[in-house]
């Protein structure tokens, strides 16, 4: 059985993470001082299934376009509420495609529903699994890769030590914070992040946020 996960991010743990990261890494500490308080708290609204279905729908779309399609999806499949897996297991293509989902996304949300319905994806006990066990379970679903699984860990489950090494925003933020000549690849970012443990999720959040600073180009 997988080991129990560490505590999820709370306001108190975020304050501790900021203190620990600032003490361990002067360059990251400077970025933290510029950005300010971290607001990376888990999103507790809705269900795990709804968050994963939404993630699939939103992939590779602008926010407004994705929101429109997701609204149609909820209206058509869930009668105005986030659809339960049972409503999607055998949902016909005509219904899903009529909401604006591509063929690939229609297959993906249906595959997600089937994994939950038959127990291959135990959403009811995900919170008891460690990070890697959750990633391993999620990537078995069509349309969910490691990055989507990591975002679920960070933003839904509030796991504190997730390092999305392939995320372009994290890589660009790290490049500016550490003033590396080239954009860090996965190996380089992993080395940079040695000082981030056990708060890699928080450090990654600061990498994203530093790109929003008015003077980010000066880093």
Q: Domain holding 33: CATH number?
A: 1.10.1670.40
66 and 145 part of one domain? yes
CA 143 → CA 44, 51, 53, 56, distances in Å?
A: 23, 14, 10, 7
Q: What is the CATH number of the domain that holds 78?
A: 1.10.340.30
29 and 71 part of one domain? no
69 and 120 part of one domain? yes
Domain with 106 in it? 48-156
Residue that terminates a domain, selected from 156, 172, 202: 156
90 and 35 part of one domain? no
pLDDT value of position 1: 31
Mean pLDDT of the chain: 92
Q: What is the mean pLDDT of residues 99-112?
A: 95
Whether pLDDT at 176 is above 90? yes
Single out the residue of 105, 207, 202 nearest to residue 155, CA to CA: 202
104: left (phi over 0), alpha (psi -120 to 50) or beta: alpha
121 and 28 part of one domain? no
Residue that terminates a domain, selected from 131, 156, 181: 156
End-to-end Cα distance, the chain = 45
Single out the residue of 202, 98, 96, 218 nearest to residue 154, CA to CA: 202
pLDDT value of position 82: 83
Q: What is the mean pLDDT of residues 167-187?
A: 96
Q: Would residue 5 count as lying in a domain? A: no
Q: What is the mean pLDDT of residues 39-66?
A: 92
Binning pLDDT at 50, 70 and 90, where does residue 183 land?
very high
Residue that terminates a domain, selected from 108, 126, 156: 156
The angle, 0 to 180 degrees and rounded to 10, between the axes of the packed helices 63-78 and 48-58 is 130
Q: How many CB atoms lie within 10 A of CB 145?
A: 13
105 and 188 part of one domain? no
pLDDT value of position 80: 80
Token code pair at residue 28: 């990251």
Single out the residue of 120, 123, 5 nearest to residue 53, CA to CA: 123
pLDDT value of position 4: 39
Token code pair at residue 78: 């869930």
Q: What is the mean pLDDT of residues 199-206?
A: 98
Q: What is the mean pLDDT of residues 16-39?
A: 97
pLDDT value of position 6: 53
Whether pLDDT at 3 is above 50? no
Answer whether 155's CB lies under 8 Å from 42's CB: yes
pLDDT value of position 139: 97
Answer whether 49's CB lies under 8 Å from 115's CB: no
Contact residues for 191 (Cβ-Cβ < 8 A; gap 6+):
none
121 and 209 part of one domain? no
30 and 54 part of one domain? no
pLDDT value of position 11: 95
54 and 148 part of one domain? yes
pLDDT value of position 36: 96
∠ CA 204-207-209 to the nearest 5 degrees?
A: 110
Q: How many structural domains is the chain composed of?
A: 2
135 and 169 part of one domain? no
Output 7 or 139, whichever has higher pLDDT: 139
Give residue for tokens 């530093």. Answer: 210
pLDDT value of position 131: 95
Q: What is the mean pLDDT of residues 139-150?
A: 96
179 and 124 part of one domain? no
Answer whether 40's CB lies under 8 Å from 154's CB: yes
pLDDT value of position 216: 54
pLDDT in tens, 61-83: 888 999 999 999 999 888 888 88
52 and 80 part of one domain? yes
Q: What is the mean pLDDT of residues 49-64?
A: 91
Q: Would residue 184 count as lying in a domain? A: yes
Whether pLDDT at 218 is above 50? yes
């Amino acid at each position: 059985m997988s080991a129990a996960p560490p505590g999820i991010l709370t306001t108190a743990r975020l304050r501790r993470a900021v203190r620990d990261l600032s003490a361990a890494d002067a360059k990251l500490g400077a970025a933290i001082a510029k950005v300010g308080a971290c607001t990376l708290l888990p999103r507790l609204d809705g269900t795990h299934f709804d968050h994963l279905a939404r993630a699939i729908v939103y992939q590779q779309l602008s926010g407004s376009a994705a929101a429109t399609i997701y609204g149609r999806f909820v209206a058509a499949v869930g009668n105005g509420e986030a659809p339960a897996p049972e409503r999607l297991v055998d949902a016909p293509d005509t219904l899903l495609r009529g909401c604006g989902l591509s063929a690939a996304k229609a297959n993906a949300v249906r595959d997600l529903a089937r994994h939950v319905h038959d127990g291959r994806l135990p959403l009811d006990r995900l919170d008891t699994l460690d990070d890697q066990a959750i990633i391993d379970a999620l990537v078995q679903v069509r349309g969910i890769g490691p990055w989507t699984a990591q975002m679920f860990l960070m933003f839904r489950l509030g796991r504190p030590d997730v390092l999305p090494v392939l995320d372009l925003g994290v890589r660009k933020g790290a490049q500016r914070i550490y003033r590396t000549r080239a954009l860090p690849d996965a190996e380089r970012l992993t080395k940079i992040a040695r000082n981030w443990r056990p708060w890699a999720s928080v450090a990654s959040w600061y990498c994203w946020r530093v790109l929003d600073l008015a003077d980010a180009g000066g880093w």
